[in-house]
Structures are given as C-alpha cells and as structure tokens.
C-alpha cells in the first residue's frame, strides 16, 4: 500500500533506505536544514539525503501540519514515523493510519531517549515496538514487538542493531491491510533526553557505573570529565579486572600497563580507556594521548 515516511536522523535514514528497497514511500517528511558542527554549516538531515538520492518526493518541515495538503494529496493509507523529532497534531493524525517505531519494549522507556536510558541503567535487554499513534506520548496500541540483547553496546551500536531488527516488522505492516493491535500492558517508565550534566564522569563511582555513562552517551552528548580545568571526553572504554592496588591510587589517576591505559575508579575498580578526545582536539586512541601527556589525573 502507499505510505508516507517521516524521520530525520541516521537511524531513520537506514530504515527508509531498507524499506525503499522493496517499496519506496510516496512522500518523505523530514526536519528542516539545521546548523551542524563548530562552523554551524546548514545541513540537511540524513533522511533528506536518502530521499533525494532515490528521487522520492521530499518535504522539509519541523511541523508537518504545514504540509497537510500535500500529505492528503498523496492518498496514502498509512504513515510510518522513525525518529522524526516532532509530535503530530490532530489534523495530521487523521490524514492516514500513522505508526511509530520506538526503540524500547513499550510501555517501558516512553520518550526521547529509550536506548540511552536503558544502557545508562545497566539493562542488557530492550527491543523495538511498532505501535499506532494516538494523542499521547508513546501510548498507542501495539502492533508488533521484538526483544534484543544489547549487552556491552553503546547507544550508537544498539540503534544500528535495533533498526535492522525493526525493518521486517515495518515491511509486514505495509502489506497488512487490517493490522491486529493490542493495548500496552505493564508499568510505564519514561526516558527523557540525557543532559550533559548527567554524562559527567565522577571517578568516585565504580568502573561499571562510569562505563554505563560512556556507552549510553555515545554518540551524544558524550561522557566527559575535566583535565587541568578543561573538558575531556571519553568516547570508548572497557571495564577491566578488579584492581586491588587501586585503593592506594588517587581517584581519576591515569596509568599505563603494557599497551593499555587505565583510570582509577571508586570501590577499587579500574576502567580501560580506549578512545578519548582532549579539549579542542580530535578523537584519538587513549594510548596515543597518554604517550603525549604521561601520568595525569582526570576529574580536576
């Protein structure tokens, strides 16, 4: 059946590209071009890139209500939303049957950052839910759900896996003339966007807690601490074996053992640093960074 696709980010672009291999949407809606990077270059969304490359009609609108006439003119029976970044108003909801792809097992982690929150809280399992949109925040009836183990993954890695998992569900939706729906069941939880403050690494915490922050905040807003009073980002890390000697070390102290770089955390634990980003510099291997600065203490 004819359908409209609304989405914006890299994950949505992957889903759009995958769906279009079998059947392209009659219309794509994405957010307007926005400034990106330090130079604030006006850049279109990854979804816009896919739509243009495949010759699909494209509308850029932060509020799709402004495109209501074009939506209705398509005659599409169904709409699919993936990480679009705006709530559909009543007029748009009535224009077709709209379904949303959400990266959690609803009603768990309703809101903007379901994968980030699951990883931040140390969850090893989450999933995807395809549900019919209503006026609430991720409250609509469920079409399909699938579970997935995300142990050891960053948010970026988990989203790639979950997006791939979701494509067959959405393909099935597009041929299902009368989709069977069920109400959401269980206790709801909410997943607001991670703040930069939440991603600060306090090395009084144990290594596991720090690692959850690092993985949850990748690709954004990125875990950080201080080095000599300047922000210092930790992009990638691993939890290392318990270190009985770390009780005698200053929390946040960085040391080298062989080719590995470690930072001392609370409760006699250590974190292996893999990729870091010093202030005003590009990301680099932790070993390369350490070879340039030597033993330092993070967090001050």
Read off the pLDDT of residues 183-193 as tens digits, 9 standing for 90 and up: 999 999 999 99
Mind listing the pLDDT tens digit for each residue in 86-116? 889 999 999 999 999 999 999 999 999 999 9
Rounded Cα–Cα distance for residues 205 and 243 (Å): 14
Residue 242 has pLDDT above 80, yes or no: no
Domain boundaries, the chain: 3-173, 197-293
- Please say whether the beta carbons of 28 and 58 come within 8 A: yes
What Cα–Cα distance (Å) separates residue 181 from each residue in 99, 133, 145, 268? 11, 12, 11, 50
45: helix, coil or strand? coil
What per-residue confidence (pLDDT) applies to 239?
86
| Number of neighbouring beta carbons within 10 Å of residue 149 | 12
Instruction: Tell me which architecture the domain covering 197-293 has in CATH.
Output: Roll (3.10)
Residue 273's H or E segment, with its range, is: strand 269-277
Angle, CA 193 vertex, CA 206 and CA 132 arms, to 5° = 125
Question: Model's pTM, two decimal places?
Answer: 0.93
- Please say whether the beta carbons of 43 and 34 come within 8 A: yes
- Please say whether the beta carbons of 8 and 82 come within 8 A: no
The conformation of residue 110, written as its DSSP 8-state character, comes to B
Residue 39 has pLDDT above 90, yes or no: no
- The CATH number corresponding to 3-173 among 3.40.190.10, 1.20.140.10, 3.90.1310.10, 3.40.50.170 equals 3.40.50.170
């Amino acid at each position: 059946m004819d359908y409209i696709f609304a989405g914006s980010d890299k994950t949505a672009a992957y889903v759009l590209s995958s769906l279009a291999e079998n059947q392209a949407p009659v219309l794509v809606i994405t957010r307007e071009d926005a400034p990106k990077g330090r130079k604030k270059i006006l850049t279109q969304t990854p979804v816009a890139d896919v739509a243009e490359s495949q010759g699909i009609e494209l509308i850029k609108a932060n509020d799709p209500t402004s495109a209501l006439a074009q939506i209705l003119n398509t005659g599409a029976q169904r709409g699919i939303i993936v990480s679009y970044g705006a709530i559909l108003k009543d007029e748009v909801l009535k224009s077709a049957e709209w379904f949303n792809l959400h990266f959690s097992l609803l009603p768990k982690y309703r809101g903007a950052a379901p994968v980030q929150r699951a990883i931040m809280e140390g969850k090893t399992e989450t999933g995807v839910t395809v549900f019919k949109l209503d006026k609430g925040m991720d409250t609509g009836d469920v079409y399909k759900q699938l579970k997935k183990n995300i142990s050891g993954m960053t948010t970026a890695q988990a989203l790639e896996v979950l997006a791939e998992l979701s494509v067959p569900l959405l393909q099935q939706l597009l041929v299902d003339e009368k989709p069977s729906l069920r109400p959401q069941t269980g206790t709801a939880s909410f997943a607001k966007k991670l703040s930069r403050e939440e991603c600060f690494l306090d090395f009084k915490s144990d290594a596991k807690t720090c690692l959850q922050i690092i993985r949850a905040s990748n690709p954004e807003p990125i875990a950080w601490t201080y080095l000599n009073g300047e922000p210092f980002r930790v992009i990638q890390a691993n939890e290392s074996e318990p270190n009985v000697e770390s009780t005698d070390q200053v929390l946040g102290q960085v040391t080298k053992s062989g080719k590995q770089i470690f930072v001392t955390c609370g409760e006699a634990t250590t974190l292996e640093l893999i990729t870091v980003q010093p202030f005003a510099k590009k990301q680099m291997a932790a070993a390369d960074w350490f070879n340039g600065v030597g033993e330092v203490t993070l967090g001050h």
